[in-house]
Amino acid sequence: MQTTLTTIKEIRHSLKRWGTFWKLRECGKGFNKQNMSFVQTPKQSRHSASDSIYEPEFIATFTAQIQRLEPKCIQALRAKYVAALPYALAINQYGFESKKSADYWLHRAERTLMTQLS
């Protein structure tokens, strides 16, 4: 049985892809009602808008791995890779008291993902 070792560089590249995917969906290209070609009344609609998003297999598996992390780790990942703000502003928005604290949780999340995916 062959195991592949995942490097931190590969993890960060994957996180950038994951973050870009969700950033585009949250900033209007996935959920924006103006992009819909038709409008349904609430009685006609059985599914919410988020149910109809196409999520590639890579993103789905990576999201599942991220959801296993501690809440502070997830917040740090979202502040770094998903937020549409500069990192210094995003860490304040996500409730971190300092950049040092956010960096600690970010590195912890990246290292945990590296061990999970190896």
Q: pLDDT tens digit string along 94-103? A: 999 999 999 9
Q: Which of 117, 49, 39, 109 is nearest to 80 (CA)?
A: 109
Please state, in angstroms and rounded to a whole number, the distance separating the CA atoms of residues 107 and 51: 32
Token readout for 113 is 């993902």
pLDDT at 99: 94
Mean pLDDT across 11-21: 94
pLDDT band at 32 (very low <50, low <70, confident <90, very high): very low
pLDDT band at 5 (very low <50, low <70, confident <90, very high): low
Q: Which of 100, 40, 113 is nearest to 74 (CA)?
A: 113
- pLDDT at 53 > cutoff 60: yes
Quick: pLDDT tens for 73-118: 999 999 999 998 899 999 999 999 999 999 999 999 999 999 988 7
pTM (2 d.p.): 0.75
- pLDDT at 49 > cutoff 60: no
